[in-house]
Amino acid sequence: MRILVVEDDLEAQRYLVQGLKESGHVVDDAADGDLGLSLALSRPYDVAIIDRMLPKMDGLGVVAEMREHGNTTPVLFLSALSEVDDRVKGLKAGGDDYLTKPYAFVELLARVDALMRRRSPVTVKTRLQVGDLDLDLLTRAAKRAEQAIDLQPREFRLLEYLMRHAGQVVTRTMLLESVWEYHFDPQTNVIDVHISRLRAKIDKGFEAPLLHTIRGAGYMIRAR
Amino acid sequence: MAQMRASLRLVRTQAFRIVLVYVLLFAFSVSALLFFTYWNTRRTLDAQSDQIIEAEITGLNEQYQRLGIRGLAESVVSRSQHPGNALYILSDGAHNILAGNLDAWPSITSDPGNFVEFGYERSVNGLTEARRARGRLFPLRTPAGTFYLLVAEDVHDRDLTQRMFTTTLPWTVVLILVHGLLGGGLMSRNMLRRLDSINRTSSEIVAGNLTRRVPVSEAQDEFDVLAENLNRMLDRIERLMKGLREVTDSVAHDLRTPLNRLRQRLEQSQGRLQAAGSDTSEIERAIAETDQLIATFNALLLIAETDAGTARGTMVLLDLGSVAADVSELYEPLAEERNLTLKLVQPLGGGAIIEGNRSLVSQALANLVDNAIKYTPPGGRVTVRTLQDETGVSLSVADSGPGIPPEERPRVVERFVRLEASRNSPGTGLGLSLVAAVAHFHNAELVLDDNAPGLKATLRFPHPAARIALPQIPSRNAAE
């Protein structure tokens, strides 16, 4: 996958580019807004990672220009600014996701993967399947190996999100943001408890677990 | 009802009160002036009639002295031929008319020799009119018996003048009052409208829209001067807030950039060590410490921003009930895992609406629930409750844990304060400070109470109506 990184902190940029390359992506980089914009407009990218504060042209400006030119590349904003309404501004300007510095690389990678997935044309799905786990989005029924699973509404949304990102790492923050719509980290890690409840419902009594904990990163649902 | 309240509000304004006092004073002065004029006019007219009567009497007396009662009678008859306003009657002792221009002896409660007033009937253009006259009655004692002479003047003109005054006076007062009150009402409404526009602007600014300014009209009157001064003050406030915002932003930027590099370096070393098959537990601990540092920094920044109110623009009408339900749902599995009962108590029908920032209120409540779960021993109870009464809406978290001693309660909301008992449990020590900042941000009150046993933390919000709904004047929509 092709990724554009626009970041003026050169050390952070080097690390980011190296990490992304190690994860198997093709990466272009730019250190200011002008260059970033011309790259974004001249080549097709699957995801653009853009810092909020850039020399020559501010990150918000770059994305606004891209959208103006009909460019729909998913954009992940990186920001070192204080957060309260900066996220809203970033998303309003046309960003698709927002990550505050300092971030963990796994968090960034998981979000980049999610953005790419979002891009690939999806037919409107009415059922999701991972292995023998089956989620019907219309009747809101969950089954594993033809055995009905009773889920609370929030558990259903949690499982739906995980299954939509099957085979991808999903971080705790991503779950909090997407399933609970909270943009803050609770002091205690409450997500783990929700996950273990869900795990008890879908994996208990089955030989092959589907819901995996990825150490130091988050969770992933996948069939073996 | 609304209309009545609006007019009541009009009457309560300072302008209206001033106008009312002046109108009453003016009405009183005009009444006094009119009354004085009337009294003076009447006195003059009476004096005039009296003079005329005196002259007539002098003439008649002369006749009487010279020619006796017969001469007097002749004189009365001749004078009655061309009467004008003068009235004469000569009668015998039984009030039988002997001569004069009155048809019947008027009913006089007489006071002989003095001036008397009486009513009589007179035919004017063929119609009989009731009139009044003023005159003097003299008893004349002669050897032939007692006679009475009445000499009087018709006072119709004087009565007309009097009537004019008596009808004019109340009407004048009524007109003064009506015009005065109307004028006062208009003036107050005008002032209210100007003041309301200032009030509306200030409450929008309080709600976070710092770019609003008080409208200035072309009139350059005292209100415009006030508006301009307010606007200058607002410009200054806006600059200060922007400055504050820039400071937090650059502090955030200047600290986050190196923290970011630090974390990246740690991750890089961890990767290298892992690849070489070495032990990475030290590095992992360092990363965890860094994350704790970042969490503390973020919490501090958020508290500073919340305290400064830089996020005021993000206020919406918020249902506290749904915030409480969401946060309780988020924490319920954790409570169960710790063998605690987490209960949500809401009034039927909900409707605990406040004006607030959903994210901040959720985070404050999450901090309170988090604390409650952290400090309550297994088997205990945590209750999240929304409540609504006349004074406002409240959100509380009560637990059955050890509680906070009364003397420590004011201290725990300060930054970084952690009680001895909790020194070793994880946390930044900023949880309650953030709750306090969020409370302050929403004009709410954070109250820490004894739950006997345990702690009960309550956030008491004011009704949204108290701040949003500004007083309205009656025809504002029509005027705009």
On chain A, the residues whose CB falls within 8 A of the CB of B373 are 188
The tokens for A180 are: 């609970």
Closest CA to B385 of B356, B349, B355, B342: B342
Q: What is the pLDDT of residue A150?
A: 92
pLDDT digit string, tens, across residues B463-475: 765 444 433 333 3
Average pLDDT over residues B198-206: 81
pLDDT digit string, tens, across residues B319-359: 999 999 999 999 999 999 999 999 999 887 777 888 888 88
On chain A, the residues whose CB falls within 8 A of the CB of B426 are 187-188
Distance from CA of A123 to the nearest CA of B (A): 31
A82 has a chain B CB within 8 A of its CB? yes
On chain A, the residues whose CB falls within 8 A of the CB of B263 are 102-104
Among A16, A54, A77, A188, pick the best mutation site for testing chain B contact (most B Cβ within 10 A): A188
CB contact under 8 A, A185 and B311: no
Q: Beta-carbon neighbour count of residue B231 at 10 Å?
A: 16
Nearest chain A Cα to B310, which residue? A84
Chain-centroid distance, C-alpha A170: 7
B371 near B418, Cβ under 8 Å? no
> In angstroms, what CA-CA distances link A179 with A153, A174, B364, B371, B421?
11, 8, 19, 23, 35
Q: How confident is the model at residue B476 (pLDDT cuts 50, 70, 90)?
A: very low
Q: What is the pLDDT of residue B348?
A: 78
Q: What is the pLDDT of residue A158?
A: 94
Q: What is the pLDDT of residue B472?
A: 36
CB contact under 8 A, B257 and A88: no
pLDDT digit string, tens, across residues B409-444: 877 777 666 655 554 555 667 888 889 989 988 888
Question: What is the rounded distance in angstroms from the CA atom of residue B358 to the CA atom of residue B443?
Answer: 15
A108 near B268, Cβ under 8 Å? no
Residue B480 has pLDDT above 60, yes or no: no
Mean pLDDT of chain B: 82
CB contact under 8 A, B256 and A53: no
Which domains are delineated in chain A?
A: 2-119 (3.40.50.2300), 127-221 (1.10.10.10)
> In angstroms, what CA-CA distances link B5 with A40, A210, B70, B278?
62, 66, 82, 80
Helix (H, G, I), strand (E, B) or coil at B57: helix
CB contact under 8 A, B302 and A84: yes
Chain-centroid distance, C-alpha B121: 61
CATH 3.30.565.10 fits B315-467, yes or no: yes
Most confident of A211-215, B238-242, B292-296, B389-393: A211-215
CB contact under 8 A, A104 and B267: yes
Question: What is the rounded distance in angstroms from the CA atom of residue B66 to the CA atom of residue B417?
Answer: 126
Q: Please, which residues have CB within 8 angstroms of residue B239's CB and are 6 or more apart in sequence?
A: none
Question: What is the rounded distance in angstroms from the CA atom of residue A86 to the CA atom of residue A93?
Answer: 11
Distance from CA of A121 to the nearest CA of B (A): 32
What does chain A come to in residues? 224
Q: What is the pLDDT of residue A86?
A: 76
A9 has a chain B CB within 8 A of its CB? yes
Amino acid at B342: L
Helix (H, G, I), strand (E, B) or coil at B375: helix
CB contact under 8 A, A105 and B313: no
Task: Specify the CATH architecture of the domain B212-312.
Answer: Orthogonal Bundle (1.10)
Q: Which of residues 70-129 of B touch A (CB under 8 A)?
A: none
Distance from CA of A187 to the nearest CA of B (A): 7
Average pLDDT over residues A142-151: 90
CB contact under 8 A, A182 and B366: yes
B418 has a chain A CB within 8 A of its CB? no
- Residues B72, B73, B75, B80: is their CA dihedral positive or negative? positive
Residue B455 has pLDDT above 50, yes or no: yes
> In angstroms, what CA-CA distances link A3 with A22, A40, A45, A98, A112?
13, 10, 6, 16, 9
Question: What is the rounded distance in angstroms from the CA atom of residue B257 to the CA atom of residue B251?
Answer: 10
Residue B19 has pLDDT above 90, yes or no: no
β-bridge pairing A26-30 and A2-6:
parallel
- A·B CB contacts under 8 A: 106
Query: DSSP strand E in A43-121: where?
Result: 47-51, 75-79, 97-100
Distance from CA of A162 to the nearest CA of B (A): 17
The residues spanned by each domain of chain B are 1-206, 212-312, 315-467
Amino acid at B216: V
A183 has a chain B CB within 8 A of its CB? yes
B281 has a chain A CB within 8 A of its CB? no
On chain A, the residues whose CB falls within 8 A of the CB of B252 are 80-83
Question: What is the rounded distance in angstroms from the CA atom of residue A144 to the CA atom of residue A135?
Answer: 9
Beta bridge partners of B100: B89
B407 near B425, Cβ under 8 Å? no
On chain A, the residues whose CB falls within 8 A of the CB of B302 are 82-84
Distance from CA of B460 to the nearest CA of A (A): 22
Closest CA to B371 of B404, B344, B336, B420: B404
Average pLDDT over residues B60-79: 83
Please tell me chain A's helix, strand, coil percentages from 3-state DSSP, rounded to the nearest 5.
40, 20, 40
The tokens for A140 are: 């809101």
pLDDT digit string, tens, across residues A165-204: 999 999 999 999 999 989 888 878 899 999 999 999 998 8
Question: What is the rounded distance in angstroms from the CA atom of residue B330 to the CA atom of residue B308?
Answer: 29
pLDDT digit string, tens, across residues B126-146: 777 788 888 888 888 877 778
Q: What is the pLDDT of residue B59?
A: 85
